[in-house]
Amino acid sequence: MADSEYQEEADSEHREESEPDFSDKSRSTAGNLGIILGLFGAHRFYLGYNNIGKLQIVVTILTLGVGGLWGIYEGITILWGSEWRDSEGRLLRPSTK
């Protein structure tokens, strides 16, 4: 292998480590959906977690709306908390300032 091929391989490995693969889903959109429509699991459907979204609807119905706090809590943690990922495992795209 030529030196330039080694360099290209090393450069691509360095790029993969330094540049995370961001989702096309927005962190601010997911968080706001969670706060506003969290009782319906809208943020989970948006991120591709359809089964959890369906579960949130069922929990909200069975608890007469109290289960909707689950979605509001998740919306807040998406906006100000931990790193969230979409259903493909990619980090949510950060909000632009």
What pLDDT is stored for residue 97 in this prediction? Answer: 58
Per-block mean pLDDT, blocks of 10 residues, the chain (97 long): 56 58 94 96 98 97 96 96 92 83
pTM exceeds 0.85 for this model: no
DSSP calls for 20-31: --EEEEEHHHHH
Q: Where are the domains of the chain?
A: 3-93
d(CA 37, CA 31): 10
What pLDDT is stored for residue 10 in this prediction? Answer: 54
What pLDDT is stored for residue 35 in this prediction? Answer: 97
What pLDDT is stored for residue 59 in this prediction? Answer: 97
